[in-house]
Amino acid sequence: MAESHWGRQRWQGKGVGDMCLAVPAKIVEKKDFLAVVDMSGVQRQVSLMLLPEAAVGDFVLIHAGFAMQVIEAEEAKRTEEMLQLMRGD
Interaction site with another protein (CB under 8 A): 1-2, 4-11, 13-16, 20-23, 39-45, 47, 49-53, 61-66, 68-69, 71-72, 74-75, 77-79, 82-83, 85-86
- CB closer to another protein out of 22 and 89: 22
**Shortest Cβ distance from residue 1 to another protein (Å)?**
6
d(C-alpha 84, C-alpha 9), whole Å: 24
Determine contact, residues 25/61, Cβ cutoff 8 Å: yes
d(C-alpha 81, C-alpha 83), whole Å: 5
- CB closer to another protein out of 56 and 70: 70
Which of 55, 60, 83 lies closest to 71 in space, CA to CA? Answer: 60
